[in-house]
Amino acid sequence: MSKVTFFRGQQLPLEMHKVRIIQKLTLLPVEQRLEAIRAAGHNTFLLQNADVFLDMLTDSGVNAMSQEQQAAMFRADDAYAGSATYTRLYDKLVEVFGMEYFLPAHQGRAAENILGQVLVRPDTAVAMNYHFTTSKQHVVVHGAEVLELIHPDGLKVTSDHPFKGNMDTDALRAVIAERGAEGLSFVRMEAGTNLIGGQPFSLDNLTEVSQICHEHDIPLVLDASLLADNLYFMKIRDPRCVDLEIPAIVKAMADLCDIIYFSARKLGFGRGGGICIRDEAMYKRMRGFVPMFEGFLTYGGMSVREMEAITVGLDETLDFDMINQGPQFIAYMVNELDRRGVPVITPPGGLGAHVDAMRFLDHVDQRQYPAAALASAVFLASGVRGMERGTMSEARDINTGVEPLAHMELVRLALPRRVFTLSQVNYAIDRIDWLYQNRHLVGGMRWVEEPEILRFFYGRLEPIGDWTTRLVEQFRADFGDSL
């Protein structure tokens, strides 16, 4: 089962790997961190990685590879068509998911582009447990609507529900009764729901969703990008899964779905993506879009080296010792922050720790982007780069100019898989704790430059007032000449 050590009464996660290749890091003094975040328009996406100490922006394409993955990359068969590397990846996917057809794509959103082109009909809806930024965009762009049918506990910041990623199946039935089955282009279940804290769904929930879909002939699509984390939680929390081996859990999930797509920037510790399809006719409808947008059918925009790495990475995803490190480190980080009173999403999920900026900065108006302010403040306090997941990540209505306020104001501190050590995690916890003690110093933000599309990626902000300077002064006063 789950491997943990006990150290003076505290549960510590135990790494089941050792580090044999390293990358040197720099920790800039706080004054230089202030210069860096100013130059980046107070948007952590615009920071130079060289100015970042611990990069907790994302888990996408930055997970550590194993020696087996790196070794496999050397035998990559560089052929435009019919590469043996592709065959190895294809065979592995058939073994893991049991679906006969596969279309490669350069990353997850490219798979979503193809699904959108083929499956989404205008004036219909796509029901989801919860949206992801790119998956929503590829529905909306075809004139359809996204319906989020997340279990009510999914949107509660603190909860002890073990499966906050479950879909509300009564709501799904109600939507079908109201709109008819033809009113839904497909149903999408996202493993390890990204935007609400990496929360899993249960096997029973997926089973029920699948029964409803198949009763009404609605395709069920699984977004398996964050499958590894969902599997970990199923294995330790789901009564139906505790006695199953990981490959059997994956098979049970796959058998319930018609299509499985993924970003291999997360699943498989590589860089790429693709779509597994059960039905031949569906495969043929989608196939033409691969050479049109991605590349030939045997690489789909991926390098052969990455495909080799993903093939091995998929095997590692089926190894409990390999997938438990991420969620166990995250649980440690969340529990330690929680113990210090820092508001975080509970229970701990996959992907990272999610700090609740609405409560952390309860004196900052939601229209002044508390999550964006907190992301800047965390960087100032620590050199840790997190990601705003709040109102800044929403889109202003192009016609009315109205800005929707996000359900949650979060700063996500992602833990890329197998990358950080426990002392680095402890450092981050300590600096965030300091920031929490000094939270009254942190103020709001306003736009300097607000792009119309996906503004959170490259928009620029400034602090309201001089709070960043005052925070740096307080840091110096408290930390002396330490960095």
Ligand X SMILES: *Cc1c(COP(=O)(O)O)cnc(C)c1O
Catalytic residue numbers, as ranges = 80, 132-133, 223, 266, 389, 456
190 is a contact residue toward ligand X (CB under 6 A): yes
324 is a contact residue toward ligand X (CB under 6 A): no
Which residues between 109 and 168 bind ligand X (CB under 6 A)? 109, 132, 134-135
263 is a contact residue toward ligand X (CB under 6 A): yes
Nearest approach, Cβ of residue 261 and ligand X (Å): 8
Q: What is the DSSP string of 38-54?
A: HHTTT-GGGS-GGG-SE
The one among 13, 200, 219, 273 contacting ligand X by CB under 6 A: 273
Helix/strand/coil percent split, the chain, to 5: 45, 15, 40
Task: Please identify, among the stretches 261-269, 329-337, 372-380, 393-401, the one whose residues bind ligand X according to the rule CB under 6 A.
Answer: 261-269
Nearest approach, Cβ of residue 60 and ligand X (Å): 5
Q: How far apart are CA 80 and CA 72, in angstroms?
A: 19
Nearer to ligand X, 196 or 361 (CB): 196
Nearer to ligand X, 66 or 107 (CB): 107
Residue the block writes with tokens 């959108």: 116
Task: Determine the length of the chain.
Answer: 483
Residues in contact with ligand X, counted by CB under 6 A, come to a total of 16
List helix spans (H) across 288-369: 289-293, 304-317, 320-323, 325-339, 357-360
The one among 51, 148, 168, 223 contacting ligand X by CB under 6 A: 223
> Per residue in 290-312, is it b (16+ CB within 10 Å) or e — as a string?
beeebbbbbbbbbbbbbbbbbbb
303 is a contact residue toward ligand X (CB under 6 A): no
Q: How far apart are CA 344 and CA 357, in angstroms?
A: 9
- Non-local CB neighbours of 284 within 8 Å, separated by 6+ positions: none
Strands, sheet with 220-223, edge to edge from the N-terminal-most edge strand: 101-105, 273-277, 259-263, 220-223, 184-190, 125-128, 145-148
Nearer to ligand X, 226 or 355 (CB): 226
Q: How far apart are CA 448 and CA 462, in angstroms?
A: 6
The one among 36, 115, 226, 345 contacting ligand X by CB under 6 A: 226
Nearer to ligand X, 219 or 273 (CB): 273
C-beta nearest to ligand X: residue: 108
> Per residue in 426-455, is it b (16+ CB within 10 Å) or e — as a string?
ebbbebbbbbbebbebbbbbeeeeeeeeeb
Say if CB 454 and CB 386 are below 8 A apart.
Answer: no
Nearest approach, Cβ of residue 201 and ligand X (Å): 12
Strands 4-7 and 10-13: antiparallel
Nearer to ligand X, 263 or 311 (CB): 263
Q: What binding mask, one character per residue, do residues 40-79 give for ligand X by CB under 6 A, x or -?
A: --------------------x-------------------
Nearest approach, Cβ of residue 191 and ligand X (Å): 7
197 is a contact residue toward ligand X (CB under 6 A): no
Nearest approach, Cβ of residue 97 and ligand X (Å): 16
Site for ligand X, rule CB under 6 A: 60, 107-109, 132, 134-135, 190, 194, 223, 225-226, 263, 265-266, 273
